[in-house]
Amino acid sequence: MKRQAKFGAPEVLASQACENEAQDKQEHEDLVDQAYEMLDGSMLVDKTKMTKWERWKDNFKRKGWILIFIIPAFIYVLIFCYVPMYGILVAFQDYMPGDQIIGSDTVWVGFENFRIFFSNPNFWDYFKNTFLLCILGFIVGFPLPIIVALLLNSLRSKKVKKGLQILYYAPHFISLVVLVGMLKLIFGSDGLLDQLSIKLGGDVNGLKLFLSPEAFRPLFIFSGNWQDFGWSAIIYLAALSGVDPALHEAAKIDGASRFRRIFSVDLPAILPTIVMLMILSVGNLMNCGYEKVLLMQTSGNLETSEILSTYVYTFGLIGGQYGVGTAAGLFNSVINVVLLVIANFTSKKLTNNSMW
């Protein structure tokens, strides 16, 4: 407006200006309308004045298509994780393989399956075996990756550190069948260890570690750690790489040795990670993986190697006792949930770190 006025006598242009103004306004509004159209009309509404529900609806209209990305995975989880939870009802039924979970011919038996399970003369052995195997595995397997990460992190040569890391990760990818196969070839009957011990003047029959109940837990825990200590150290190494180097330099100037700095600088830095992982592993404490235990079971070591989850597999599933198997599995899961809640509560009280 002002620009136009500059070029002519104001009094002559006054009426024209009014006209122009109206025209300009119209053009401007058209442009704005076009812009709004391009933006889906989403900006026409003043969002600050919308109610929560309206805002949600508006968001859903504009960005709801994102749901399409989560739906397949969500449906999968519903079918393969949540429907089996509903299948826990089988624990209270006399269920025959092939039956519907709830059908016209469902026979409800209350806690009969649990009674059968708890009154099994070996129940306490299975429970004790599960608990010991898992708790010993945790005691050895939890600190080991932390120690390895701290040691690796303190190395001065980046190349050596990287090389060792790659090497330590590698066994993680070996399959359980191969791992147990290797164990048997080395520690089993007529394996390398037996042959070497015979050569060195040991018992001519060899040690036969795979047939002895005492050797089962050490072999299981040792091989498990052999496979996974490097892999588990990754998360700690990543946390350690986030430590500010200035902290180390300050500690160095104060005269702290490298060893001392592990406790004063490194360990405090990864403490939250340690606590979080501890809660997670306590929550899964009673799951020590029946796949590997099954592979390592022999007629000789059943005394220590039969645990709750292998009982679910051999007696419940293969033996066709679905009801009892489900009951035993449920018992195991419930212990896990209780442990998780306890661990989370304790850590909340002690360190203020918690999962929820």
What tokens were used for 275?
Answer: 């606590």
| Distances, alpha carbon 103 to alpha carbons 89, 96, 106, 108, 321, in Å | 12, 12, 5, 11, 18
Smaller CB separation from another protein, 156 or 349: 156
Residue 211 binding another protein, by CB under 8 A? no
Residue 346 binding another protein, by CB under 8 A? no
- Of 264-283, binders to another protein (CB under 8 A) are 273, 276-277, 280, 283
Smaller CB separation from another protein, 13 or 276: 276
Instruction: Give the distance, in angstroms, between the CA of residue 95 and the centroid of all CA atoms in the same chain.
Output: 32
Torsion, Cα of 253, 259, 265, 271 (10° steps): 180
Cβ pair 61, 72 in contact under 8 A = no
What tokens were used for 76?
Answer: 């999968």
| Distances, alpha carbon 271 to alpha carbons 73, 236, 278, in Å | 33, 10, 10
Residue 235 binding another protein, by CB under 8 A? yes
Smaller CB separation from another protein, 85 or 132: 85
Alpha carbons 262 and 109: distance in angstroms, whole number: 58
- Of 85-104, binders to another protein (CB under 8 A) are 85-88, 90, 95, 97-98, 100-101
Among the residue ranges 4-12, 17-25, 133-141, 289-297, the one whose residues contact another protein (CB under 8 A): 289-297
CA angle 195, 196, 198 (to 5 degrees): 65
Residue 252 binding another protein, by CB under 8 A? yes
Instruction: Give the distance, in angstroms, between the CA of residue 281 and the centroid of all CA atoms in the same chain.
Output: 9
Size of residue set near another protein by CB under 8 A:
106
- Of 144-183, binders to another protein (CB under 8 A) are 148, 151-152, 154-156, 164, 166-171, 173-178, 180-182
Residue 50 binding another protein, by CB under 8 A? no
Q: Out of 36, 60, 108, 124, name the contact with another protein by CB under 8 A.
A: 60
Alpha carbons 165 and 151: distance in angstroms, whole number: 11
Closest CA to 168 of 225, 218, 221, 242: 225
CB of 320 to another protein, least distance (A): 10
CB of 19 to another protein, least distance (A): 35
Smaller CB separation from another protein, 118 or 226: 226
Smaller CB separation from another protein, 68 or 350: 68
Residue 24 binding another protein, by CB under 8 A? no
- Of 324-343, binders to another protein (CB under 8 A) are 325-326, 329-330, 332-333, 336-337, 340
Torsion, Cα of 307, 312, 314, 315 (10° steps): 110
CB of 141 to another protein, least distance (A): 14
Smaller CB separation from another protein, 18 or 337: 337
Residue 234 binding another protein, by CB under 8 A? yes
Residues 101-130: x/- map of binding to another protein (CB under 8 A)? x-----------------------------
Alpha carbons 314 and 319: distance in angstroms, whole number: 6
Alpha carbons 110 and 207: distance in angstroms, whole number: 48
> How crowded is residue 261: how many other Cβ atoms within 10 Å of its Cβ?
18
Cβ pair 60, 80 in contact under 8 A = no
Residues 213-232: x/- map of binding to another protein (CB under 8 A)? -------------x--xx--
Residue 199 binding another protein, by CB under 8 A? yes
What tokens were used for 55?
Answer: 């805002």
